[in-house]
Amino acid sequence: MKTLFAIAAMALTVVATHAQTYPNARTVTIVVPFAAGGPTDRVARDLAEALAKPLGTNIVVDNVAGAGSSIGTAKVARATPDGYTLLLNHIGMSTMPALYRKLPFNVETDFEYLGMINEVPMTLIGKPQLPANNFQELQTWIGQNKGKINLGNAGLGAASQLCGLLFQSAMKVEMTPVPYKGTAPAIADLMGGQIDLLCDQTTNTTGQITAKTVKAYAVTTSKRLTTPALKGLPTLAESGLKDFEVTIWHGLYAPKGTPPEVTKKINEALKAALKDPAFIKREEDLGAVVMADKRVEPADHKKFVAAEIAKWGPIIKAAGAYAD
Ligand code: ASP
């Protein structure tokens, strides 16, 4: 019995010491559940740079893409809960529970919430060959091409899929979804003319819109954006799609069971990173708004995700989009 207690005490000391010294010069991996070069990846790589200093260690980004972010998210749910494997994901955390009949993780119980990072508008963009030069002309073109239009997305659970779903329902047209492992490959195909339309975060589209390598039709937020490259774009709501609004948000997560001392250190480092002027400027230039309200706190982050699950579930169910 005594030996058992001694072993248990030793184990506790090991965990406590580990938590005190975390990250102990070991590299932390942030899993991004979408392809490299896309908007989620962009946020993760910018954040990794800003977070490395306050966290006091190197951070690498690992792209584990596929199935609208559910593959990478599942990988982190199963990872050792020691603070060295984290997940950065977006609104998909709140839409996946309604989009998938079976998920290999529970968004609300399999993760420690570490705080939210930013909010990002989306834009509706088209291939450069489209004859439409504004949203009204696009509506006409869509009306003339019913049944022939391809709409790219990053899989069920992706922001692009959610936005596309809402767009089709608001327009009362069905388009053929073309899924990719992320919107980096989707936007490449859009520029090449292989797909017609894409809804994607400004963190991925601002450069292409500025370079005019894609056609930009509207933003998905309720108000026009102030970012210089995007401020001329109308909102979908003012263009006739009443109440249309999609804003994407990103948060940071650790596997359930990560010691509280470790999650506290990560949250403190995250809050410092979110105040880094270089990070803020980089995000603002791409139309994103760095989180500055109480949702940087884990409890408020978790409350917000629960509210988003309650908000999107009925909308997705009504749209009838599921995967097994
Ligand atoms: N964020 C994109 C989406 O959800 C995917 C990506 O980051 O590549 O559509």
Listed by start position, the domains of the chain span 2-120+248-319, 122-219
* pTM for the whole structure: 0.91
Of 51-65, 147-161, 306-320, minimum mean pLDDT range: 306-320
Length reported for the chain: 324
Cα separation of 280 and 266, whole Å?
19
- 196-220 pLDDT, tens digit per residue, is 999 999 999 999 999 999 999 999 9
pLDDT at 18 over 90: no
β-bridge mates for residue 250, sequence order: 118
- For the domain with range 2-120+248-319, which CATH number is right: 3.40.190.150, 3.30.300.130, 3.40.50.2000, 3.30.540.10? 3.40.190.150
Measure Cα distances from 146 to 86, 171, 188, 218 in Å: 43, 11, 24, 20
Residue 2 exposed, middle or buried by CB count within 10 Å (0-12, 13-18, 19+):
exposed
pLDDT at 5 over 90: no
Tell me the three state secondary structure of residue 146. Answer: coil
Separation of 36 CA from ligand 1 center, angstroms? Answer: 10
- 155-171 pLDDT, tens digit per residue, is 988 999 999 999 998 99
Q: Do domains 2-120+248-319 and 122-219 have the same CATH topology?
A: yes
Look at ligand 1, atom 9, and give the residue with the nearest C-alpha. Answer: 160
- 245-291 pLDDT, tens digit per residue, is 999 999 999 999 999 999 999 999 999 999 999 999 999 999 999 99
CATH 3.40.190.10 at 122-219, yes or no: yes
DSSP summary character for residue 103? -
Which residues does a 6 A CB cutoff place in the pocket of ligand 1? Answer: 34-35, 38-40, 90, 154, 158-160, 182-184, 201
pLDDT band at 317 (very low <50, low <70, confident <90, very high): confident
Separation of 180 CA from ligand 1 center, angstroms? Answer: 9
Separation of 21 CA from ligand 1 center, angstroms? Answer: 35
pLDDT at 235 over 80: yes
Q: What pLDDT is stored for residue 107 in this prediction?
A: 97
pLDDT band at 323 (very low <50, low <70, confident <90, very high): low
Look at ligand 1, atom 8, and give the residue with the nearest C-alpha. Answer: 182
Cα separation of 14 and 11, whole Å?
5
Separation of 249 CA from ligand 1 center, angstroms? Answer: 11
Provide the 10 A C-beta neighbour count for residue 84. Answer: 18
Q: Which atom of ligand 1 is nearest to the CA of 38?
A: 8
Q: Which atom of ligand 1 is nearest to the CA of 184?
A: 8
